[in-house]
Amino acid sequence: MKKEEVFKMEGIYKSPVFLALFAIAIIFILPATSSAQMRLRSIVAPKDGNVTPHNGTTEQDLVLRSPDLQWPDSFAPERSDLFAHNEIFIKASPAVVFKHLQEVDKWPDWYPNAANIKVAEADDGTLKEGRAWRWEMSGMQIENNINEFKQDRHIAWFSSGNEQKSYQVWHLKPTSDGYCFIVTEESVYGPAAISLRRSDSAAVHKANERWIENLKKLSEKE
């Protein structure tokens, strides 16, 4: 590059217009990029064991929904009346975490919202492919049916009751160090869901956050 061209370039970099544009980039663009990178890291590989920090409204959780999950057409999250996404890193193997999800009759021991669980045609009180069960969640009568099941990796079910229906997915990923990263998402439809979204759009997120955090505590005791 010729000396004249170097001086010309230096002049551009020192010009008021360039400095003003550079300042705008520092103020707005770089923080946004940093925030996006931090958000991506917190979703893909959270190491502090905390649920992704945000308010948990349906609108926010739809942005965070996992690309790994498939949904029945009638429960597509983008058309849901309520949607929740929760995730957490657990220092326990996926097999240990899944065992506690599968032992549905023991849920009330560690998840206070659960009560009066009855598994249809099962003496062992566990969830398996195709099984149905009834229970009370926060005082509401709920009927559930397993729709997806992969031992130690994935479980999903339909729920109905209290003027609403939902589909909830639990997806477990083993980490490189043998621990577990778990995502649960729930898509809810119906008059009760519409009413709840108006009064507290984060209600389902908060309930599932308590669920997943208690699951973490229980699993890490072993």
- Domain borders along the chain are 3-43, 49-219
The pLDDT, as a whole number, for residue 77 is 96
Measured between alpha carbons, how far is 160 from 189 in angstroms, rounded to an integer?
A: 10
The pLDDT, as a whole number, for residue 17 is 54
The pLDDT, as a whole number, for residue 55 is 77
For the chain (222 residues), the mean pLDDT of every run of 10, in chain order, is: 48 52 40 36 46 74 93 96 97 98 96 93 85 92 96 98 95 97 97 93 95 98 87
The pLDDT, as a whole number, for residue 74 is 95
The pLDDT, as a whole number, for residue 6 is 41
Task: Determine if residue 77 is left, alpha or beta; phi over 0 gives left, psi from -120 to 50 gives alpha, anything else beta.
Answer: alpha
pTM of the model: 0.76
Measured between alpha carbons, how far is 48 from 36 in angstroms, rounded to an integer?
A: 18
Measured between alpha carbons, how far is 81 from 200 in angstroms, rounded to an integer?
A: 12
The pLDDT, as a whole number, for residue 7 is 42
The sheet carrying 154-161 orders its strands as 82-90, 180-189, 164-174, 154-161, 140-150, 132-137, 114-119
Q: Which of these CATH numbers, 3.40.630.30, 2.102.10.10, 3.30.530.20, 3.40.50.460, describes 49-219?
A: 3.30.530.20
Q: Please name the helix (run of DSSP H) or strand (run of DSSP E) that holds residue 83, with its range, or none.
A: strand 82-90
> 176 in helix, strand or coil?
coil
